[in-house]
Amino acid sequence: MKTVVSLIIALFVAAAASVDADAAILRQSVTVQGDVIRIGDLFVDAGKDSDAVVAEAPAPGQQMTLNARALESIAQRAGLQWRPQSRYESTTVSRAGRIVRAQEIEKILRDAMVKEGMPKDRLIALSKADFAVHVAPDEERAIRVVNARYNLAGRQFAALLEVPRGKSGAERLQVTGNLYEMVEIPVLAQRVQRGDRIREQDVETIEIRRDAVAQDAILDRSQVIGKTPRRLLQAGKPLRGNDLQTPLLVEKGKLVTIVLRNRQLLITAQGRALEDGAKGEVIRVSNTRSRTTIQGLVVGLNRVSVSSPTLRH
């Protein structure tokens, strides 16, 4: 009798093991690429029907959770040997997506509004700087501006975006934001040291918001080329009037030639500059012989012209 019971138990265990061996294995989480969820996405070894569609996938970049009851119903319809271990068992399904961030969306909106007549010197900025949408990684359709309205005086806009969602169509989203007038300004293309002469190739032009331009900002590149920085200046930053000066021809403390010229004679003397000076500037100079301090006009490299006849005193 014991032998018969043992045999029955052994056969039961073997049958249970056989069932377990053939049972499908649930995936706890999965990422799908397309518009639908298939049996093979949810279960390992789903068999010949692994490509069968069981549900619509979430929108690109989104996710959904299938609970134990839904999973059991899917398994039964597919003929899979699977039962949830508890009512809390679930699977999270994520949909792959490409992020389209605010900067790209703002460009799409600006191009559309310029076509509708908005001035090209306007910048647009979404109200939510971190605004972003997801589209399918292989989505060929672009985000489309269905409707856009702007108010130049109020510097605001509103628009309706159509965001493609794969085969399921598109989603429409309302966005708002502000308009800013832009202005072109010259900036340095690379950092320039104090005393270096700024060349044509050292200057480039960028666009910035007009309300961000300082009152003494330099707006014309001709006011930059040929000048020299008063201190080290970094690339790409707006330049202000006191950042630059005409290149120095005379440096404070250096010896200079003092020149007195009139119709009858030319007199020169040696002096020492008491100030820095660029061409056309009037600086103080000390006559090294007489120790007299005079004012002279910088006319060349280490050369100062004076009108005083007292060079030797």
Give the CA distances from residue 10 to residues 7, 20, 21, 22, 149, in Å, rounded to whole numbers and listed in that order: 5, 15, 16, 18, 78
Closest CA to 243 of 224, 226, 271: 224
Domain that residue 127 falls in: 99-180
Q: 127 and 154 in one domain? A: yes
- Give the separation between CA 182 and CA 175, rounded to whole angstroms: 22
Domain annotation covers residue 4: no
Domain annotation covers residue 2: no
Q: 63 and 134 in one domain? A: no
Q: Higher confidence at residue 311 or residue 73?
A: 73
Mean pLDDT, residues 207-214? 90
Look at the chain and count its residues. 313
Share of the chain above pLDDT 70, in %: 91
The kind and range of the H/E element at 297 are strand 293-300
Q: 300 and 254 in one domain? A: yes
Q: 119 and 163 in one domain? A: yes
Mean pLDDT, residues 29-41? 92
Mean pLDDT of the chain: 87
The kind and range of the H/E element at 86 are none
Among residues 47, 70, 95, the one where a domain terminates is 95
Q: 69 and 118 in one domain? A: no
Give the CA distances from residue 223 to residues 45, 210, 230, 237, 273, in Å, rounded to whole numbers and listed in that order: 74, 19, 14, 15, 27
Task: Find the Cα–Cα–Cα–Cα dihedral 38, 39, 42, 43, rounded to 10°.
Answer: -150
Q: 224 and 293 in one domain? A: no
| Residue 22 confidence (pLDDT) | 54
Considering its fold, how many domains does the chain have in total? 4
Among residues 95, 123, 143, the one where a domain terminates is 95
* pTM of the entire predicted model: 0.59
Q: pLDDT tens-digit profile of 220-269?
A: 999 999 999 989 999 999 999 999 988 888 989 999 999 988 777 888 89
Q: pLDDT tens-digit profile of 163-204?
A: 988 776 788 999 999 999 999 999 999 999 988 889 999 999
Domain annotation covers residue 79: yes
Say whether pLDDT at 311 is over 80. Answer: no
Q: Which residues touch 280 (CB under 8 Å, ≥6 apart)?
A: 246, 297, 298
Asked if 254 and 272 touch (Cβ cutoff 8 Å), the reply is yes
Task: Estimate the share of the chain in helix, then strand, then coil, as percent rounded to the nearest 5.
Answer: 20, 40, 35
Closest CA to 23 of 93, 79, 73: 79
The phi, psi pair for 86, rounded to 5°, reads: -155, 170
| Residue 312 confidence (pLDDT) | 53
Domain annotation covers residue 88: yes
Closest CA to 78 of 56, 48, 58, 37: 48
- Give the separation between CA 203 and CA 219, rounded to whole angstroms: 12
Asked if 304 and 248 touch (Cβ cutoff 8 Å), the reply is no
Q: 149 and 167 in one domain? A: yes
Task: Find the Cα–Cα–Cα–Cα dihedral 78, 82, 84, 90, rounded to 10°.
Answer: -50
